[in-house]
Amino acid sequence: MSQQRSSLVSSSDPGPRTTDPSRFLAACRRQPVDRPPAWIMRQAGRYLPEYRATRAEAGSFLALCRNPELAAEVTLQPIRRFGFDAAIIFSDILLPLAPLGVHFAFPDEGGPRIEAPLARPEEWEALQPPADGVGTSFVAEAISRVRAALPADVALIGFCGAPWTLASYLVEGGTSREHAAVKAALFAHPAELGALLLRLADAMALYLRQQVAAGAQAVQVFDSWAGALAEREYAEFVVPALARLLAALDDLDVPRILYLGGGAHLVGAVASLPIDVLGVDWRTDLTRAALATGKAVQGNLDPAVLLSSPDAVSRATRRMTAAAPPTGYIANLGHGILPHTPLAAVTAFLDAVRGGQ
Ligand code: CP3
């Protein structure tokens, strides 16, 4: 392992200097880089044996998220092992909902559960954004710990859930395939659901500002369930909430990334948002997304590719990077890495991005 690691480190020599000390931040700003920066969504997670050990030490996933020392440790683990170009702070999109009075749990199977899903407009109105930083200071503390420990050229990404994806969890009560309850709520009570999205936008803007104040150098807004909506509804209800969230960060000098899950049909709808980078999944063509938006793009290897052989991972990754725009491109998967992914697949992915095999 240590031999492998040192060869990774030497192959990540900075090469031609960019105007930015971080390859990742330069690519976000569409400045020239020697090679595409690479990181992986959910790079700190169960596919890593050291993550499983720290999670066991913490006792539970939520305890791990709320312990700044251990959250910082698991954020750094994939950087140490693989030398990714960016770290993403270890947390979950639901954690900043706790200060709004939402109770949830992360059972071992089946994803997060909201204890009392919010089905009625009166319940949505009761959710009010907390004062800046209230109830999430553990995230800020983990961020300052990570920033202090990271090499200068590895950028630290803060994140939040997008209003629509959070609303899906709040109304559905958990991860949903059809999103039928939240969509029914939108069609039955458009004004009230629209207002909920705006309230969530305000709360997430405060949360991201807190993360940037603590040391996050870029922010990513995860709209994982964007693709559940047609373009018409996305443009009418979701884009205004995203615009409000993103505009509230205008005065901060940090790149803004929007991740659009299943959103090939939504690229046009988000093109006018104040974002620097559009993250897409494997259903969306990277170059078409770049041309349609004029933004940097991030993605988009199907995480299932990493369950094949290292050779197949290399081939698919090289095909992806060869077709990606030459500037303004960040290599990533199209969604989070799957828990049973072999470590060798991650190495094959990174070697291929770095111009190795
Ligand atoms: O990327 C990272 O390394 C940072 C950590 C991170 C987690 N969740 C940790 C996590 C991030 C960025 C998230 C975001 C998140 N959480 C999203 C948006 C990204 C996406 O994947 O679409 C969503 C939809 C959630 C909600 C959520 N949290 C789900 C659906 C699950 C269960 C999924 C699963 O794999 O079991 C979680 C739990 C979760 N969040 C885990 C991790 C590492 C697994 C928890 C464990 O260790 O048992």
276 alpha carbon – ligand 1 mean position (Å)? 23
Residue 74: give its domain's CATH number.
Answer: 3.20.20.210
Residue 75 CA: nearest ligand 1 atom is 3
3 alpha carbon – ligand 1 mean position (Å)? 31
Q: Is the dihedral of CA 33, 38, 41, 42 positive or negative?
A: negative
Residue 222 falls inside a structural domain: yes
Residue 107 falls inside a structural domain: no
Residue 341 falls inside a structural domain: yes
Residues 6+ positions from 306 with CB-CB distance below 8 Å: 313, 333, 337, 338, 341, 342, 345, 346, 349
Residue 14 falls inside a structural domain: no
**Pocket of ligand 1 from Cβ distances under 6 Å:** 41-46, 55, 61, 88, 90, 92-93, 106, 111-112, 159, 175, 222, 224, 261, 335-336, 339
Residue 172 falls inside a structural domain: no
Q: Which domain holds residue 278?
A: 33-101+129-164+200-355
Residue 146 falls inside a structural domain: yes
Residue 220 falls inside a structural domain: yes
Pick the residue whose CA is nearest to atom 37 on ligand 1.
111
Residue 206 falls inside a structural domain: yes
Stretches in the chain below the pLDDT threshold 70? 1-19, 356-357
pTM listed for this prediction: 0.94
Count of structural domains, the chain: 1
Residue 88 contacts residue 157 (beta carbons within 8 Å): yes
